[in-house]
Structure 1
Amino acid sequence: MNSLQDVLNSYGSTYDEISASLGVKVETIEALLTGENVALGEARKVAEALGLSLSVLAEMRKSDSARDFEFFFRRANPKAPPKEIIDIKRYENLIGAASAFLDDGNNADWIGCFYEDRLADYEEMASFIRNEVLEVDLVSPLSNLPFLLDKIGVYSFVTRSTFFEGVSVYYSRRPYIFISPRFSGRMLFTLAHEFSHLLLHVDPGEDSGVFDEYREKDMPSFAESKMIEREADILASSLLLPARGVGLCLKKIREVLKSTDSENIGDIEILYLANIYGVSFEVAGYRLERLGVLPAGGTMALVQHIRKQHGSPEKRAEAAGLPARPEFKMPQIPISIVKSAIGKISAGEFSLGFVREKLELPIKSLMAANLG
């Protein structure tokens, strides 16, 4: 199949010429070729002028979009092996579905807000993002982060990947995050990590993205990771465990445990803190190191001891009878996209089967989202 670009170019070399030849608006031609949303009526006019069905026109746009996204991925990951394209196709399909079902406009005007100022104080950054962007306080856990991000126009998906643990993409003026399913504490941190990439490493003037492959540790040592990964780790941990909240929690935890050691923090206090904020023991420990509460290297020493004595931090917490982590729920598809798709079904723009296929969701999930 020829690309849509090739077909339209046969009607003229400029948007104005193509528009005049087909008898449609210049804005419609521009939107078709740049991946923007096009009103159904306008798309139908173009299809009729070209002698195509609406479905063929949609497939041609999808083909162009896939080629563009693959080129974008290759530009960001020039050394990536070809087999990673399987995952990239999955991301491209979900971005295409989002573009089809969402209306024009996005309220993510905070994108790349620290792009030019990445050396700013991370504590100040985290406080600003919690207060001004997420509109939450400086104490509470962020176990509802997927819903907070959806509210501010970040479309976060759970999709199984062979190679990538997390992906943050700013593409066609919309921010997307893709998370591979893992244990809940790890997923929450990965989500915050990818959100931090959008804050720190995205140039709002162009398409860009960060593709994070699987890593064994929640927060590798500084020597083990790239600079942008360190920066994202630090901001993510600062967002999830705000300094003020950590201080208040530790004070209360020590009261509950009736701790008499005013100087040292032990594994039980860290496990308690990790469970309250929904993160792993390692993330909580490294955060305490940055706050100067735990000596550098203390987290790894404690992890090694716990694994030797108890098998894992989770088993240690269970044996100690500590409260469980708050429930972390992350929808497979952002609720805003599902609701927008259902609205278009009601308006007669798409069939239920088409939406189900594009979003890869069972019909009962679509209905549940609509009732919610």
Structure 2
Amino acid sequence: MRAILRGDEAPMSELRAISTGLRIPLRILASGKRPSDDSERLGLLFRSVRQTHPNYDVTVERIATFVEAAVRVLPPADRLPLWLDDFVVRDETYEEAARLALLFRSIFCADRIDDPLHQLPQLLDHAGIVTARLRFSQYEGVSLVAENHCFIFVSPRFIGRMLFTFAHELGHIIAHHREGHAPIFERASHIGNFKKHTRSEGFVDAFASNLLLPDTAIARALQTIRDHFQIRSPVIGDLEILFVARYFGVSFDVAARRCEELELLPRGGAASLSDTLRKEYGSPEKRADMIGLPKRLPVRFPPVSEQLGKAVGQAINSGNISIGWAADHFGLSLGEILASHAPAGEL
């Protein structure tokens, strides 16, 4: 590093090693420019983000690099996905969030309207939303719209947390993002923080909660677990909520808060139960394992959505981009690039 700063030449292998070690796209390292400022297409979109991130923020630059590259390889879009036309937000109320959540389910999973949404990342891909993992970042989730393409990025976390973050960012796409709206970068305290949040964040949290935990489905799940364990108490306890959390793929806190919203728990009961489980058992998950509840069903969070992987593969096969260019701009490994555009069944 000292030699390079003195002006010595560096071979490409060294630059790639430094780029990987610092988790900075090679393009940024080589040019010394911020993609969020330099991009002709996205400069204006990310300029407002830079106002709230005055210091260099590598996540902002990685997202700008990713989005600019995605817009280059994806087919041009002359408008937002058609289904978004049906989602007109009348007011940021709990009732409106519930209505929109039911509307989304009726459009994309009408044949399983009350089933768990473990396949939400794939549903978003089917809905025309590009999804990707947000690696090595202080942010939980990012959402934006660029040139009529919708993007959601989620950091690898506990799967229950990731699923709720996907639903939360979908709420932002529906309620707050239109062409030209600044990207939203959210830390952990912004998502699922039922104790303290803005009205807009509360609205998308309510949307996510209703989307992942439909009220009628919760009622059936609670009845199933109470019948199985022959629970006769009129009070809902931690066992039932742990079962709901695992069945629907969310965290205990989200499931407990949803039960509180439905008046199945007294006000403040969700936080109280959560604190008790952490003090007595270490975590709700340990408590669920201790009492022998079924394991969580797997939720597949691909490194990048299928639609983008297919577009990248076509661009590579046609010679428009190289595998190295794709790996650097999208932050993917060589194996992930190859897997993303391999014919079905080949890998």
Give the corresponding residue for 1:206.
Answer: 180
The match for 1:131 among 61, 85, 106 is 106
Asked if structure 2 preserves the Cα contact closer than 8 Å seen for 1:138 and 1:244, the reply is: no
Alpha-carbon distance change, 345 to 74 in structure 1, aligned in 2, over 3 angstroms: closer
Asked if structure 2 preserves the Cα contact closer than 8 Å seen for 1:110 and 1:199, the reply is: no
TM normalised by structure 2 equals 0.81
Kindly indicate whether residue 289 of structure 2 is the aligned counterpart of residue 318 of structure 1: yes
Give the corresponding residue for 1:246.
Answer: 218
Kindly indicate whether residue 280 of structure 2 is the aligned counterpart of residue 305 of structure 1: no
Give the corresponding residue for 1:144.
Answer: 119
Cα RMSD for the two superposed structures: 2.5
Asked if structure 1 preserves the Cα contact closer than 8 Å seen for 2:105 and 2:113, the reply is: yes
Give distance in 2, aligned partners of 1:207 and 1:220.
23
Give the corresponding residue for 1:162.
Answer: 137
Give the corresponding residue for 1:187.
Answer: 162
Give distance in 2, aligned partners of 1:205 and 1:170.
6
Give distance in 1, aligned partners of 2:306 and 2:180.
26
After superposition, the C-alpha distances for 1:274-310 in whole angstroms (9 at most, x for unaligned) are 0001110000001111112111111111111111211
Give the corresponding residue for 1:79.
Answer: 52
5 Å matches for 1:102-113?
Answer: 102-105=74-77, 108-111=81-84, 113=87
- How far has the Cα of 1:181 moved from its partner? 1.5
Give the corresponding residue for 1:276.
Answer: 247
- How far has the Cα of 1:358 moved from its partner? 2.8
Alpha-carbon distance change, 356 to 162 in structure 1, aligned in 2, over 3 angstroms: closer
After superposition, the C-alpha distances for 1:173-221 in whole angstroms (9 at most, x for unaligned) are 111111111111111111110111111122x353333221232x96323
Asked if structure 2 preserves the Cα contact closer than 8 Å seen for 1:122 and 1:234, the reply is: yes
Give distance in 2, aligned partners of 1:302 and 1:68.
49
Amino acid at match of 2:274: V
Amino acid at match of 1:213: R
The higher radius of gyration belongs to: 1
Aligned-pair identity in percent equals 31
Asked if structure 2 preserves the Cα contact closer than 8 Å seen for 1:179 and 1:191, the reply is: yes
- How far has the Cα of 1:163 moved from its partner? 3.1
| Segments ≥4 residues shifted beyond 4 Å | 62-65, 133-136
- How far has the Cα of 1:128 moved from its partner? 0.6
Give distance in 1, aligned partners of 2:222 and 2:154.
30
TM normalised by structure 1 equals 0.76
Give distance in 1, aligned partners of 2:282 and 2:292.
16
Identify the range of structure 1 (269-278 vs 339-348) with the bigger mean alpha-carbon deviation. 339-348
Amino acid at match of 1:142: L
After superposition, the C-alpha distances for 1:79-118 in whole angstroms (9 at most, x for unaligned) are 334133x111100111012112211236623447234443
Tell me the matched-pair count: 308
5 Å matches for 1:36-115?
Answer: 66=39, 69=42, 71-76=44-49, 78-84=51-57, 86-105=58-77, 108-111=81-84, 113-115=87-89
